């Protein structure tokens, strides 16, 4: 699927000087909703074009910054689509009809289990995990997670992911003479896999700290104390 999409993104790159940021926003909104669309084919080329002065401002740093902002905004918009649809339609509807939009029961159950177990922290960590990244917004909507909290944790997770991908593309744009679009995307994906040895422990440590602090706050909250004494 990634290779098929690379050709379309390469064609869209011809419009990058004028429409580049809007294309990033659009495609990242798709990627973050229930439509399967790999963000690597969007943000890595965006970083590459920014480094080459191929976006609207024709200046590497401003182009990279605005591309990142557009990518995060698109990620949030797509997440809001899933969140509000799930909040309005509810779990029974999604269980019954989700398969028609590639949301099979197994995928929904996995996302639901992660959210129920880890709560708000899952919306942060899962934004950095393939396959589950888009789906974690659905149980958050079903559980009616507070919108401010959902926005914060989703924005943080999406921000890290978008910055990482854009930085990779920017690195290739600065350090290489010529790369095909397929080489660019696959090199970025290989770089992600190659750095998982230090990325994964850092994420687990941050998530562990979140779980520890959340449990500590819950144990010491006034509501918990009053329930324990009654």
Give pLDDT tens digits for 147-174. 998 998 899 889 988 998 999 999 998 9
In this structure, of 78-92, 111-125, 204-218, the range with the lowest mean pLDDT score is 204-218
157 near 35, Cβ under 8 Å?
Answer: no
The pTM assigned to this predicted structure is 0.78
- Note the pLDDT of residue 227: 41
Instruction: Please give the structure tokens belonging to residue 177.
Output: 């003479």
Please count the other Cβ atoms lying within 10 Å of the Cβ belonging to residue 203: 17
The closest alpha carbon to 71, from 158, 168, 182, belongs to 158
How many Å separate Cα 158 from the centre of its chain? 4
Evaluate if residue 230 carries a pLDDT over 60: no
Q: What is the DSSP string of 14-42?
A: GGHHHHHHHHHHHHHHHHHTTS---THHH
48 near 169, Cβ under 8 Å?
Answer: yes
Query: Within 13 A of 130's CA, how many CA atoms are on the CB side?
Result: 8
The closest alpha carbon to 46, from 155, 181, 175, belongs to 181
43 near 71, Cβ under 8 Å?
Answer: yes
Q: Which residues contact residue 43 at a Cβ distance below 8 angstroms, ignoring those fewer than 6 apart?
A: 24, 28, 67, 71, 162, 165, 166, 169
- Note the pLDDT of residue 217: 52
Phi and psi based region of residue 60 (left: phi greater than 0; alpha: psi -120 to 50; beta: remaining): alpha
Interatomic CA distance for residues 220 and 230, integer angstroms: 15
Evaluate if residue 60 carries a pLDDT over 90: yes
Percent of the chain with pLDDT over 70: 73
DSSP 64: H
190 near 205, Cβ under 8 Å?
Answer: no
Evaluate if residue 9 carries a pLDDT over 80: no
33-59 mean pLDDT: 88
Interatomic CA distance for residues 213 and 169, integer angstroms: 35
- Note the pLDDT of residue 153: 87
Interatomic CA distance for residues 197 and 190, integer angstroms: 13
Question: What is the per-residue pLDDT across 188-215, written as a single tens digit (0 to 9) for each?
Answer: 877 776 665 556 566 566 666 655 655 5
The closest alpha carbon to 129, from 97, 107, 151, 144, belongs to 107
- Note the pLDDT of residue 16: 85
For the chain, what is the mean pLDDT? 79
């Amino acid at each position: 699927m990634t290779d098929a999409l690379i050709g379309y993104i390469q064609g869209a790159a011809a419009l990058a000087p004028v429409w580049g940021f809007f294309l990033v926003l659009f495609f990242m909104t798709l990627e973050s909703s229930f439509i399967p669309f790999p963000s690597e084919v969007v943000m890595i080329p965006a970083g590459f074009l920014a480094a080459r002065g191929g976006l609207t401002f024709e200046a590497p740093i401003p182009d990279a910054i605005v591309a990142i902002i557009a990518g995060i905004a698109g990620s949030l918009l797509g997440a809001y689509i899933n969140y509000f649809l799930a909040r309005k339609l509810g779990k029974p509807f999604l269980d019954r009809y989700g398969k028609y939009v590639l949301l099979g029961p197994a995928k929904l159950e996995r996302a639901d289990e992660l959210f129920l177990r880890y709560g708000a922290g899952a919306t942060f960590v899962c934004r950095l995990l393939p396959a589950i990244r888009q789906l974690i917004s659905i149980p958050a909507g079903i559980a009616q997670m507070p919108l401010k909290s959902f926005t914060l944790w989703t924005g943080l997770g999406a921000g890290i992911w978008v910055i990482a991908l854009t930085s990779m593309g920017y690195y290739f744009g600065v350090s290489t003479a010529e790369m095909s679009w397929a080489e660019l995307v696959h090199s970025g994906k290989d770089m992600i896999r190659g750095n998982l040895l230090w990325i994964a422990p850092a994420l687990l440590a941050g998530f562990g700290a979140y779980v520890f602090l959340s449990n500590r706050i819950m144990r010491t909250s006034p509501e918990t104390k009053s329930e324990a004494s009654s």
